[in-house]
């Protein structure tokens, strides 16, 4: 009987792929996912304002972390050995480059991860595969595993044809993957030639499809322009001097332009 999982790997391209920048080598696992989730952190700086009911909030950045777990089942003893070899390489790839004295040298040990249309570079619509490994730095998602969990499921049995040596029939692996954004790519809303605002770049990011939002004629949350007479819940208004969300000064009264986010200038600043 043939191994049906090879069809999923080779024809359906259901692969979890990691590219190692140091060695330019590739690790590809069959995508037997046990869990997958993402955490997106919307980071804003917060500052209290003297004698103001609202705090000042300034956008900082968006951070993405991926939690992924998968299983490595072995069809036979040869695949069990291969699975253990892949896990060995995976753990070794966490380490940096060193010189002959053991001193860390070179750049950080950066990875590129791909998982079909779920994990890929913003310049691509899908991640890379084992077959096009040379393209993974352009199609994979840059980052690194912040931790790795490795569990041989011994209750599923082992291959023990060699005395004193076992090969697990099933291994579970999981890790948290910290995403490093390629700053050459642009993530954000831009004014369009038609007078609107749209997500004009990285159109297949993050999960391989394009969204439908991108109109400048509606306010935050879909409110029509002019529907509000003041700032948002946490937007100070009515100050003599205000700045807009890009840090530049603005002469527009926040009470008449609800689509802007305004911040009160601290006392003593121009």
What are the pLDDT digits (tens) for 96-105? 999 999 999 9
Domain residues for the domain of 79 are 8-51+62-179
User: What is the structure's pLDDT at 214?
Assistant: 66
CA–CA separation, 125 vs 119, rounded Å?
9
Same domain, 158 and 250: no
Across 60-64, 227-231, 265-269, the highest mean pLDDT is recorded for 60-64
Contacts with 221 (C-beta within 8 Å, 6 or more apart), sequence order: none
82 occurs within a structural domain: yes
Answer yes or no: are the C-beta atoms of 129 and 115 closer than 8 Å.
no
Same domain, 25 and 159: yes
CB atoms under 10 Å from CB of 4, counted, come to: 8
Give me the long-range contacts of 86-89 (CB less than 8 A, separation at least 24). 86/27, 86/29, 87/150, 87/171, 87/173, 89/25, 89/27
15 occurs within a structural domain: yes
194 occurs within a structural domain: no
Same domain, 74 and 161: yes
User: What is the structure's pLDDT at 189?
Assistant: 92
- Binned at pLDDT 50, 70 and 90, residue 186 comes out as confident
Task: Determine phi and psi for 203, rounding to 5 degrees.
Answer: -70, -20
Same domain, 72 and 173: yes
Answer yes or no: are the C-beta atoms of 240 and 248 closer than 8 Å.
no
Q: pLDDT averaged over the chain?
A: 82
CA–CA separation, 251 vs 241, rounded Å?
8
**Structural domain ending residue among the three candidates 131, 164, 179:** 179
Same domain, 156 and 222: no
CB atoms under 10 Å from CB of 191, counted, come to: 11
Beta bridge pairs of residue 238: none
- What does the longest C-alpha to C-alpha distance in the chain come to? 82
> Does residue 262 surpass a pLDDT of 70?
no
Show the tokens assigned to 79.
């695949």
CA–CA separation, 100 vs 251, rounded Å?
62
188 occurs within a structural domain: no
Same domain, 43 and 115: yes
Same domain, 151 and 30: yes
Same domain, 103 and 157: yes
246 occurs within a structural domain: yes
Count up the domains in the chain and report the number: 2
56 occurs within a structural domain: no
Listed range (46-60, 65-79, 199-213) with the worst mean pLDDT: 199-213
The pTM for the full model equals: 0.76
Answer yes or no: are the C-beta atoms of 72 and 87 closer than 8 Å.
yes
The rounded percent of the chain whose pLDDT value lies above 90 is 59
Same domain, 229 and 138: no
144 occurs within a structural domain: yes
Show the tokens assigned to 264.
């009160």
Beta strands in the chain (DSSP E): 15-20, 25-30, 33-47, 56-73, 97-98, 104-105, 111-114, 141-152, 158-159, 167-168, 170-179, 190-191, 197-198, 242-243, 249-250, 263-264
User: What is the structure's pLDDT at 263?
Assistant: 44
Average pLDDT for 141-158: 97
Listed range (91-105, 207-221, 252-266) with the worst mean pLDDT: 252-266
Average pLDDT for 161-179: 97
Same domain, 174 and 221: no
- Binned at pLDDT 50, 70 and 90, residue 261 comes out as very low
Same domain, 82 and 143: yes
User: What is the structure's pLDDT at 89?
Assistant: 97
187 occurs within a structural domain: no
Same domain, 127 and 222: no
Show the tokens assigned to 114.
């791909």
Average pLDDT for 217-224: 38
């Amino acid at each position: 009987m043939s191994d049906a999982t090879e069809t999923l790997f080779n024809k359906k391209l259901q692969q979890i792929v990691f590219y190692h920048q140091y060695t330019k080598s590739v690790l590809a696992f069959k995508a037997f996912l046990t869990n997958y989730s993402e955490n997106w952190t919307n980071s804003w700086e917060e500052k209290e304002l003297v004698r103001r009911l609202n705090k000042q909030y300034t956008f900082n950045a968006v951070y993405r972390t991926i939690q992924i777990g998968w299983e490595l089942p072995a069809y036979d003893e040869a695949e069990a050995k291969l699975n253990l070899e892949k896990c060995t390489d995976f753990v070794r790839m966490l380490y940096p480059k060193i010189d002959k004295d053991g001193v860390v040298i070179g750049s950080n040990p950066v990875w590129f991860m791909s998982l079909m249309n779920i994990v890929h570079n913003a310049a691509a619509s899908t991640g890379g595969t084992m077959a096009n490994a040379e393209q993974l730095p352009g199609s994979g998602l840059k980052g690194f595993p912040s931790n790795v969990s490795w569990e041989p499921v011994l209750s599923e049995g082992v291959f023990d044809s060699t005395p004193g040596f076992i090969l697990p029939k099933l291994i579970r692996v999981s890790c948290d993957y910290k995403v490093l954004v390629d700053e050459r790519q642009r993530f954000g809303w831009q004014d369009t030639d038609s007078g609107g605002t749209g997500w004009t770049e990285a159109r297949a990011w993050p999960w391989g499809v394009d969204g439908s939002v991108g109109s400048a004629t509606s306010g935050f949350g879909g409110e029509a322009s002019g529907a509000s007479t003041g700032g948002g819940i946490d937007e100070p208004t009515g100050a003599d001097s205000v700045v807009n969300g890009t840090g530049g000064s603005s002469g527009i009264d926040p009470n008449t332009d609800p689509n802007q986010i305004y911040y009160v200038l601290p006392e003593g600043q121009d």
